[in-house]
Structure 1
Amino acid sequence: MKINWSAREVDVFLALADSLSFRRTALQMHLSQSAVSGTLARLEEMLGARLFERTTRAVELTQAGEVFAEQARILRHQMDETVRRVQEVAQVQVGRLALAALPSLAAGLLPRVLARFAAEHPGVHLELFDSLAGPAFDMVRAGRVDFALTAANPAYADLDYLPLASDRFVLLLGRGHALARGRGDLGWADVAHLPHISMPAGTSVRQYADEALLTHGIRFAPQYAVEHLATIAAMVAADLGVSALPLLAAQVVQRPEVVARPLARPVLRRPIGLVRLSGRRLSPAAARMVEMLRDEMAALPG
């Protein structure tokens, strides 16, 4: 038999079990005595057992009523605990938030945002995976992360892409380089002949640089291609060449021996966006993190 009682009906029963008085129960629950009697009758019908013995002088729990009162108190506590825990998640008081991000974002922009989030929501467990775009998309698909921060729009039917911001390309030069002493923007055509140190073909940095410059008739042929930003910075500091990088990537490897100057003609920007499973809403914690990311990215120069 399907039992279909409400929390309100359980509360009325428990109030009557405690007071053993229809009058006091009616006052406590803001009901008429007939409404209390009707609630009790529905419960007894659903359970197939009398819960109270009623006489002109007293109301007493039956043996079945005593069992139901014991279990109903447990049930009511569990319902209250369920509501409390759900509200904690909705209010970003507890839970888990996992995200993947490009290494340049994970090392540069994200630590500041994560620190702010952790301070505001200490009960939420944070996980960060620094990863290239392909593996990050796989983590989104597998449910290992709530979302990924990447520079690439995946253009897959099972993934949604939400643009968040973009960062401008700058040129890293050794402090002793002749161009390091100037101010203002540098034109791509003016520095294309210099020995460049870049990331390997296939990375977002190379893809955006290659495609954008090709459309402007500028051939971009780096002399060195290395995978790690720290290696690029060390090579630039040693005057082995210059490096065109998005601002957030350049900020990760700031060091006294290296100077950054904005690149223009054309102004090249790397888009940054959020990737999540198609059609899936972000959790309250993930949505709050996105708000913080937007705030941080809004302060990016240029």
Structure 2
Amino acid sequence: MTINLTLRQLELFTATMREGSFTQAAEKLRISQPALSTAIRKIEVELGLTLFDRTTRSVQPTPDGRHLFAVAEDLLRDFKVSMQGVAERASGLHGRLTLAVLPSVAASILPRALMQLQRKYPGIDVAIRDVMHERAVAMVADGLADFAVTTRIAETAALAYDEIGADRIHLVCRDDHVLAKGKGALPWSALEGHAYVAMAGSTSVRRLADAVLLQADFALQPRFEVEQIASCIALVSAGLGVTALPALTFSMFASDRLTMRPLTGPTISRQIGFLQLKGRQLSAPAVALAGEIRGAYGKR
């Protein structure tokens, strides 16, 4: 047996049940009383049931009417909740996404962005992959991340890059080091003759530093080379050398005994931006997170 009832018919029926009167229900629904009576009669014909006992003075629900009322209310409530969920998901209020992000950005910008995202859209879940630049690029290219926050890449046919800001390189040394004396920027040439702690060649920081040294036409021979920012800072804090790091990395370590001074001659920054697949529209949750990251970057 096929039953063809519409949501509108169920709404009319449940309103009549709640009001206990065709006249009052019709007034609340802003339809005529004859139109409402006709709609209820069509429901009864469709179901083969009598839903109301009608007299000249009152309208009383039958046992079948009371049973349908309970079923109809459940159906209407479930439909409303389901449609609200669809609308919320479309507007970015619910969903899950994966973000590939440089560790320095994860430590500095991302916490503020996620706090705002959670406040506005508590239904969004974020899987954070704090990885080095090459891995972030690969994750986006392979579809393992919705988008990445990383350094600029060369133009490709598959990936689109949208810059959000620059991250200036600074000298980092112990506060009792000779280069810690004074204020303001230092030329890169001031690092000559001092033990230098370098990041590994696979890192964006090392590539920037090497490009600067080539441009400045002098060399810094690393005394030590490390893979991780934490290891680099541990060596600097122990007095084993100085290093050059972008400002966003400062959130990754305690700076109580360290001095940071901008480097100039030349001044250089790494570009930070969003990386995503060309031609693929970000989901609503991803758009919401990207907006919060951009805002947090501007307020850093």
**What range describes the TM-score normalised by the shorter chain of this pair?**
0.7 to 0.9
Deviations 1:88-112 (A, max 9, x none): 6678776656533212222333334
Deviations 1:189-218 (A, max 9, x none): 443564422211121112233345545545
Please name the residue that 1:240 is paired with: 240
Please name the residue that 1:280 is paired with: 281
Confirm or deny: 8 A CA contact 1:14 1:73 kept in the other structure. Answer: yes
Please name the residue that 2:162 is paired with: 162
Please name the residue that 1:129 is paired with: 129
Aligned length, in residue pairs: 297
How far the C-alpha of 1:170 sits from its partner, in A, is 0.2
Confirm or deny: 8 A CA contact 2:140 2:146 kept in the other structure. Answer: yes
How far the C-alpha of 1:241 sits from its partner, in A, is 2.4
**Residue 8 in 1 paired to residue 16 in 2?**
no
* Unmatched 5+ stretches in structure 2: none
How far the C-alpha of 1:83 sits from its partner, in A, is 4.3
How far the C-alpha of 1:40 sits from its partner, in A, is 4.3
Paired residue type of 2:237: A
Distance 1:42 1:138 in 2: 61
269-278 or 151-160, larger mean C-alpha shift: 151-160
How far the C-alpha of 1:239 sits from its partner, in A, is 3.4
Confirm or deny: 8 A CA contact 1:168 1:270 kept in the other structure. Answer: yes
CA 1:56–1:64: 2 relative to 1, 3 Å: closer
Distance 1:157 1:48 in 2: 60
**Residue 36 in 1 paired to residue 39 in 2?**
no
**Counterparts of residues 105-184 of structure 1 (less than 5 Å):** 105-115=105-115, 117-118=117-118, 125=125, 127-137=127-137, 139-140=139-140, 146-153=146-153, 159-184=159-184
Distance 1:31 1:169 in 2: 71
**Counterparts of residues 147-296 of structure 1 (less than 5 Å):** 147-153=147-153, 159-191=159-191, 194-215=194-215, 217-219=217-219, 221-278=221-278, 279-284=280-285, 286-296=286-296
How far the C-alpha of 1:225 sits from its partner, in A, is 1.9
Distance 1:76 1:149 in 2: 43
Paired residue type of 2:102: L
What TM-score results when the alignment is normalised by the length of structure 2? 0.76
Confirm or deny: 8 A CA contact 2:107 2:251 kept in the other structure. Answer: no
How far the C-alpha of 1:81 sits from its partner, in A, is 2.2
**Secondary structure in 1 matching 2:260:** strand
* Unmatched 5+ stretches in structure 1: none
**Counterparts of residues 55-134 of structure 1 (less than 5 Å):** 57=56, 68-85=68-85, 96=96, 98-115=98-115, 117-118=117-118, 125=125, 127-134=127-134
